[in-house]
Structure 1
């Protein structure tokens, strides 16, 4: 898979973008296909097709910038009542551009945006089993204490 995307072109300055924020590591700009007015994308300036390829510290910075953008959306003419963060990691999750990107989506009453899901009610034993499996994987693979 080609690691270069439209986001690489935006970072390089060879494609246009309506920038909201930029520093040495991160760029935030207006989504050209917004789901609500003021929809912003926050991306790392390094190529990372998935979260597995992204340095965790840089992932944290994406969310820190996202928090600042969310506050700015509330304080700007967007004047939203709430904000959703959305990050799709992988085709099945809905990722379309294979460069990690955090959607910062301003919300207002009746804006028409929403997540559709069918929550289930698993037994506690099933939740405990999966929690153990996930926690064990974290301990083995990421150096976390469980």
Structure 2
């Protein structure tokens, strides 16, 4: 089901123009209007799902199954592509600006292509006991594995 106010749902319905890369009954892939780097593509499910926290396992399996095909096509489209970031942002604090689950496929051309991600090194803050405590909290909240 689509949300009448969601910009990605409007793109799926054809109410807002987009440059489509791929589309079938399950997903739509289109170029991001901002083009962080040339070829920056968004992959969205055709159902309106807010974020990863609301994404059913089967829908996730279907959605993510398209990533290799799209990544390979994007890379093959330009010999200058040296790598690719595949990103899924969830929640405003994690830079999700459109609340319809989507995957960014961002081709990387060099270390100077004006796109960056920073992973701070906080290893001095965590010994094995601290890591085990974090893991225990996660484990305590796991549900049944989807492929069990």
Quote the Cα distance in structure 1 between the aligned partners of 2:139 and 2:68: 27
Distance change (3 Å), C-alpha of 1:97 and 1:78? farther
What pairs up with 1:2-81 in 2 under 5 angstroms? 3=3, 4-77=5-78, 79-81=80-82
CA deviation after TM superposition for structure 1 residue 128, in Å = 1.0
> What TM-score do you get using the length of structure 2 for normalisation?
0.88
Contact kept, 8 Å, 1:36 with 1:106, in 2: the verdict is yes
Is the 1:21–1:27 contact (alpha carbons within 8 Å) kept by the matching residues of 2?
yes
Runs of 4+ with deviation above 4 angstroms? none
Unmatched runs of 5 consecutive residues or more in structure 1 = none
Consecutive unaligned residues in structure 2, runs of 5 or more: none
Deviations 1:114-138 (A, max 9, x none): 1023220111111111112112211
Tell me if structure 2 keeps the 8 A contact 1:38–1:78. Answer: no
Instruction: Identify the range of structure 1 (101-110 vs 50-59) with the bigger mean alpha-carbon deviation.
Output: 50-59
Matched, 1:128 2:129: no
| CA-based RMSD | 1.6
Which whole-Å CA distance do the structure 1 matches of 2:14 and 2:36 have between them? 25
Give the aligned partner of residue 82 of structure 1.
83
